[in-house]
Amino acid sequence: MFSVREGQSNNYLRDDGGVLMERYENQNDIQRNFQTSVLEHALNSISFRCEEQDNHPEQVESYSIAIGKAMNMSYKDLKNLAKAAKLHDLGKTFIDQGILNKPGKLTVAEMEAIKKHPEIGYRLLITDIRYKKLAKCVRHHHERWDGLGYPGGLMGGETPLFSRIIAVADAYDAMTTNRVYQKTKSQKEAVQEIIENSGTQFDPTIVEVFVGKVLLSARTSYTNKK
Protein backbone atom coordinates (compact mmCIF):
# COMPACT_ATOMS: atom_id res chain seq x y z
CA MET A 1 0.00 0.00 0.00
CA PHE A 2 1.43 3.35 -1.15
CA SER A 3 1.39 6.26 1.28
CA VAL A 4 1.04 9.92 0.31
CA ARG A 5 4.73 10.37 1.11
CA GLU A 6 5.65 7.61 -1.35
CA GLY A 7 3.54 9.29 -4.01
CA GLN A 8 5.28 12.58 -3.32
CA SER A 9 8.62 10.86 -3.64
CA ASN A 10 7.64 9.56 -7.08
CA ASN A 11 6.62 13.06 -8.14
CA TYR A 12 9.97 14.40 -7.00
CA LEU A 13 11.68 11.72 -9.08
CA ARG A 14 9.60 12.66 -12.11
CA ASP A 15 10.38 16.33 -11.54
CA ASP A 16 14.08 15.59 -11.20
CA GLY A 17 13.92 13.50 -14.36
CA GLY A 18 12.33 16.41 -16.21
CA VAL A 19 15.05 18.77 -15.02
CA LEU A 20 17.75 16.30 -16.06
CA MET A 21 16.16 15.87 -19.48
CA GLU A 22 15.94 19.64 -19.91
CA ARG A 23 19.61 20.01 -18.98
CA TYR A 24 20.53 17.24 -21.42
CA GLU A 25 18.59 18.93 -24.24
CA ASN A 26 20.16 22.30 -23.41
CA GLN A 27 23.63 20.77 -23.54
CA ASN A 28 22.80 19.21 -26.90
CA ASP A 29 21.57 22.60 -28.17
CA ILE A 30 24.81 24.24 -27.03
CA GLN A 31 26.86 21.53 -28.73
CA ARG A 32 24.85 21.80 -31.97
CA ASN A 33 25.17 25.60 -31.96
CA PHE A 34 28.92 25.32 -31.43
CA GLN A 35 29.28 22.78 -34.24
CA THR A 36 27.20 24.98 -36.54
CA SER A 37 29.36 27.98 -35.65
CA VAL A 38 32.56 26.07 -36.44
CA LEU A 39 31.12 24.85 -39.75
CA GLU A 40 29.96 28.34 -40.74
CA HIS A 41 33.45 29.68 -39.99
CA ALA A 42 34.97 27.01 -42.23
CA LEU A 43 32.44 27.71 -45.01
CA ASN A 44 33.18 31.43 -44.83
CA SER A 45 36.90 30.68 -45.03
CA ILE A 46 36.34 28.60 -48.17
CA SER A 47 34.29 31.43 -49.72
CA PHE A 48 37.00 33.96 -48.88
CA ARG A 49 39.68 31.80 -50.48
CA CYS A 50 37.57 31.45 -53.63
CA GLU A 51 36.99 35.19 -53.94
CA GLU A 52 40.32 36.64 -52.86
CA GLN A 53 43.11 34.08 -53.05
CA ASP A 54 42.51 30.70 -54.61
CA ASN A 55 39.72 29.60 -56.93
CA HIS A 56 40.64 25.91 -56.65
CA PRO A 57 37.32 24.93 -54.97
CA GLU A 58 35.36 26.64 -57.75
CA GLN A 59 37.50 25.07 -60.47
CA VAL A 60 37.05 21.60 -59.00
CA GLU A 61 33.33 22.28 -58.77
CA SER A 62 33.25 23.33 -62.44
CA TYR A 63 35.18 20.30 -63.70
CA SER A 64 33.09 17.96 -61.54
CA ILE A 65 29.82 19.36 -62.90
CA ALA A 66 31.13 18.95 -66.45
CA ILE A 67 31.98 15.31 -65.75
CA GLY A 68 28.58 14.75 -64.14
CA LYS A 69 26.78 16.25 -67.14
CA ALA A 70 28.81 14.07 -69.52
CA MET A 71 27.69 11.07 -67.44
CA ASN A 72 24.04 12.18 -67.81
CA MET A 73 23.49 12.77 -64.10
CA SER A 74 20.15 14.10 -62.92
CA TYR A 75 19.78 17.75 -61.96
CA LYS A 76 19.50 16.78 -58.28
CA ASP A 77 22.70 14.74 -58.43
CA LEU A 78 24.52 17.55 -60.22
CA LYS A 79 23.52 19.99 -57.48
CA ASN A 80 24.79 17.65 -54.77
CA LEU A 81 27.98 16.91 -56.72
CA ALA A 82 28.60 20.65 -57.06
CA LYS A 83 28.24 21.15 -53.31
CA ALA A 84 30.55 18.24 -52.47
CA ALA A 85 33.17 19.42 -54.96
CA LYS A 86 33.07 22.97 -53.62
CA LEU A 87 33.56 21.67 -50.07
CA HIS A 88 36.07 18.89 -50.77
CA ASP A 89 38.95 20.73 -49.07
CA LEU A 90 36.86 22.17 -46.22
CA GLY A 91 39.08 20.41 -43.67
CA LYS A 92 42.14 22.32 -44.88
CA THR A 93 40.82 25.44 -43.17
CA PHE A 94 41.96 23.75 -39.94
CA ILE A 95 45.40 22.71 -41.24
CA ASP A 96 48.41 24.96 -40.61
CA GLN A 97 48.69 27.26 -43.65
CA GLY A 98 52.46 27.16 -43.27
CA ILE A 99 52.36 23.45 -44.05
CA LEU A 100 49.89 23.84 -46.92
CA ASN A 101 52.00 26.55 -48.58
CA LYS A 102 55.43 25.12 -47.80
CA PRO A 103 57.58 25.43 -50.94
CA GLY A 104 59.90 22.54 -50.07
CA LYS A 105 59.35 18.84 -49.48
CA LEU A 106 57.04 17.97 -46.60
CA THR A 107 58.22 15.96 -43.63
CA VAL A 108 56.43 12.74 -42.73
CA ALA A 109 54.67 14.52 -39.85
CA GLU A 110 53.56 17.39 -42.11
CA MET A 111 52.22 14.97 -44.70
CA GLU A 112 50.28 13.12 -42.01
CA ALA A 113 48.80 16.44 -40.86
CA ILE A 114 47.58 17.23 -44.38
CA LYS A 115 46.12 13.75 -44.74
CA LYS A 116 43.75 14.56 -41.87
CA HIS A 117 41.81 17.16 -43.87
CA PRO A 118 39.25 14.77 -45.44
CA GLU A 119 38.34 13.41 -42.02
CA ILE A 120 38.11 16.93 -40.56
CA GLY A 121 35.82 17.98 -43.40
CA TYR A 122 33.69 14.89 -42.85
CA ARG A 123 33.30 15.57 -39.13
CA LEU A 124 32.25 19.15 -39.81
CA LEU A 125 29.67 18.25 -42.44
CA ILE A 126 28.17 15.19 -40.73
CA THR A 127 26.88 17.44 -37.92
CA ASP A 128 24.77 19.58 -40.27
CA ILE A 129 21.58 18.25 -41.86
CA ARG A 130 22.22 20.41 -44.96
CA TYR A 131 25.45 18.60 -45.78
CA LYS A 132 25.14 15.27 -43.97
CA LYS A 133 24.57 13.25 -47.17
CA LEU A 134 27.69 14.79 -48.74
CA ALA A 135 30.00 14.15 -45.80
CA LYS A 136 31.19 10.74 -47.01
CA CYS A 137 31.94 12.15 -50.47
CA VAL A 138 34.25 14.73 -48.90
CA ARG A 139 35.82 12.14 -46.60
CA HIS A 140 36.81 9.82 -49.45
CA HIS A 141 38.01 12.16 -52.22
CA HIS A 142 41.62 11.02 -51.68
CA GLU A 143 40.89 7.32 -52.01
CA ARG A 144 42.49 5.52 -54.95
CA TRP A 145 41.05 3.03 -57.42
CA ASP A 146 43.71 0.49 -56.36
CA GLY A 147 42.89 0.85 -52.66
CA LEU A 148 46.11 2.65 -51.70
CA GLY A 149 44.49 6.00 -50.90
CA TYR A 150 43.29 7.51 -47.63
CA PRO A 151 41.66 7.67 -45.14
CA GLY A 152 39.77 4.41 -45.67
CA GLY A 153 41.89 2.50 -48.17
CA LEU A 154 38.74 1.90 -50.22
CA MET A 155 39.10 0.12 -53.56
CA GLY A 156 37.29 0.62 -56.85
CA GLY A 157 33.55 1.12 -56.56
CA GLU A 158 33.71 1.07 -52.76
CA THR A 159 34.54 4.77 -52.99
CA PRO A 160 31.46 7.00 -53.52
CA LEU A 161 30.98 8.06 -57.16
CA PHE A 162 31.11 11.77 -56.28
CA SER A 163 34.46 11.21 -54.55
CA ARG A 164 35.88 9.46 -57.62
CA ILE A 165 34.78 12.34 -59.84
CA ILE A 166 36.20 14.96 -57.47
CA ALA A 167 39.52 13.06 -57.33
CA VAL A 168 40.06 13.52 -61.08
CA ALA A 169 38.89 17.14 -61.11
CA ASP A 170 41.01 17.96 -58.05
CA ALA A 171 44.17 16.41 -59.50
CA TYR A 172 43.79 18.09 -62.89
CA ASP A 173 43.27 21.55 -61.43
CA ALA A 174 46.11 21.12 -58.91
CA MET A 175 48.52 20.15 -61.69
CA THR A 176 47.54 22.98 -64.05
CA THR A 177 47.41 25.75 -61.44
CA ASN A 178 50.37 27.62 -60.00
CA ARG A 179 51.47 26.22 -56.64
CA VAL A 180 54.45 27.22 -54.48
CA TYR A 181 55.36 23.57 -53.91
CA GLN A 182 55.30 22.32 -57.51
CA LYS A 183 55.96 23.33 -61.08
CA THR A 184 52.80 23.99 -63.05
CA LYS A 185 52.12 21.41 -65.74
CA SER A 186 50.71 22.18 -69.15
CA GLN A 187 47.25 20.84 -69.94
CA LYS A 188 48.85 18.20 -72.16
CA GLU A 189 51.21 17.08 -69.37
CA ALA A 190 48.37 16.96 -66.82
CA VAL A 191 46.16 14.91 -69.13
CA GLN A 192 49.02 12.50 -69.80
CA GLU A 193 49.60 12.00 -66.06
CA ILE A 194 45.91 11.38 -65.42
CA ILE A 195 45.80 8.83 -68.24
CA GLU A 196 48.92 7.10 -66.90
CA ASN A 197 47.26 6.80 -63.47
CA SER A 198 43.94 5.55 -64.82
CA GLY A 199 43.09 2.24 -63.21
CA THR A 200 45.52 2.77 -60.33
CA GLN A 201 44.85 6.18 -58.80
CA PHE A 202 41.73 7.10 -60.78
CA ASP A 203 38.52 5.40 -61.87
CA PRO A 204 39.20 4.55 -65.56
CA THR A 205 35.60 5.26 -66.58
CA ILE A 206 35.74 8.77 -65.15
CA VAL A 207 39.14 9.39 -66.74
CA GLU A 208 37.68 8.37 -70.09
CA VAL A 209 34.75 10.73 -69.65
CA PHE A 210 36.93 13.62 -68.49
CA VAL A 211 39.58 13.30 -71.20
CA GLY A 212 37.41 12.00 -74.01
CA LYS A 213 34.36 14.19 -73.49
CA VAL A 214 34.88 17.12 -71.10
CA LEU A 215 38.32 18.33 -72.19
CA LEU A 216 37.77 17.40 -75.84
CA SER A 217 34.52 19.35 -75.86
CA ALA A 218 36.24 22.34 -74.24
CA ARG A 219 39.04 22.30 -76.84
CA THR A 220 36.56 21.97 -79.70
CA SER A 221 34.51 24.88 -78.37
CA TYR A 222 37.65 27.03 -78.01
CA THR A 223 38.80 26.19 -81.55
CA ASN A 224 35.40 27.04 -83.03
CA LYS A 225 35.46 30.47 -81.36
CA LYS A 226 38.73 31.41 -83.08
Assess whether pLDDT exceeds 80 at residue 222.
no
First to last CA, the chain: 97
Q: How long, in residues, is the chain?
A: 226
This model's pTM is above 0.85: no
pLDDT: which is higher, 97 or 219? 97
> pLDDT class for 98, splitting at 50, 70, 90?
confident
Dist. CA 52–CA 55, nearest whole Å? 8
Our CA angle for 50, 53, 58, nearest 5°, is 25
Strands (E), the chain: none
State residue 70's pLDDT score. 97
- The predicted-structure confidence for 28-55, as pLDDT tens digits, reads as follows 443 444 444 555 665 666 544 434 346 8
Calculate the alpha carbon distances from 13 to 1, 3, 23, 177, 220 in Å: 19, 16, 15, 65, 76
State residue 219's pLDDT score. 61
For residues 85-100, give the mean pLDDT. Answer: 89
Letter string b/e over residues 156-171, b meaning 16 or more CB atoms within 10 A of that residue's CB: eeebbbbbbbbbbbbb
Domains of the chain by range and CATH? Answer: 55-225 (1.10.3210.10)
- The predicted-structure confidence for 101-118, as pLDDT tens digits, reads as follows 888 889 999 999 999 999
- The predicted-structure confidence for 130-189, as pLDDT tens digits, reads as follows 899 999 999 999 999 999 999 999 999 999 999 999 999 999 999 998 877 778 899 999
**Residue 140 is which amino acid?**
H
